[in-house]
């Protein structure tokens, strides 16, 4: 039992090792619109709006909506933003302060530092990799070694890079 449980820990650790370097990364490309300026992420809309809006915070019924429906992703961003705001207030911060991450300055306005967003994504991905290993093991379609190999391939597959990092 203990030896079998190592497979899940191996996958979760591999996920952290592969994507842990993203913790030092900043916001890039579409992150400004998707995270830093998204009213659904910033808490400017009621919670049920997450189910009615696209990834960018535009109502799905609106003509300009991309129809990219990812409410779980937006929910994780909103929770991360709420935690970051709470932590900022708890230490006496807030306002238009500046956060430095890896030598890059980020305004605390409009979503603040990317560190918690990246850390949340890495942690969720590690949990997903552990869960995938667990599901494969429960299905018993492969030998224990085959299950671990399939879970490691899932964990290390480059298709996941954009979603995690």
Question: In sequence order, what DSSP letters do the residues of 63-132 get, joined into one string?
Answer: TT------HHHHHHHHHHHHHHHHHHHHTT--SS-EEEETTEEEESGGG--SHHHHHHHHHHHHHHHHHH
pLDDT given for residue 27 in this prediction = 87
Mean pLDDT by 10 residues, the chain (165 residues): 79 96 88 89 93 94 93 94 83 57 45 84 95 94 92 91 75
pLDDT given for residue 10 in this prediction = 95
**The tokens of 110 are what?**
């409009």
**The tokens of 43 are what?**
């808490």
pLDDT given for residue 85 in this prediction = 85
What's the whole-model pTM score? 0.80
pLDDT given for residue 59 in this prediction = 95
């Amino acid at each position: 039992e203990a030896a079998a449980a190592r497979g899940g820990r191996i996958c979760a650790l591999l996920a952290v090792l592969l994507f842990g370097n993203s913790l030092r990364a900043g916001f890039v490309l579409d992150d400004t619109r998707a995270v830093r300026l998204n009213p659904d992420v910033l808490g400017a809309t009621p919670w049920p709006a997450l189910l009615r809006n696209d990834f960018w915070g535009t109502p799905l019924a609106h003509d300009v909506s991309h129809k990219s429906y990812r409410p779980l992703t937006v929910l994780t961003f909103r929770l991360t933003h709420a935690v970051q705001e709470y932590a900022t207030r708890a230490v006496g911060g807030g306002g238009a302060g500046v956060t430095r991450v890896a030598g890059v300055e980020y305004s605390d306005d409009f979503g603040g530092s990317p560190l918690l967003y990246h850390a949340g994504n890495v942690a969720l991905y590690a949990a997903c990799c552990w869960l995938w290993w667990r599901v494969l093991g429960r299905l018993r379609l492969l030998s224990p070694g085959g299950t671990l190999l399939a879970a490691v391939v899932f964990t290390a597959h480059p298709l996941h890079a954009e979603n995690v990092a």
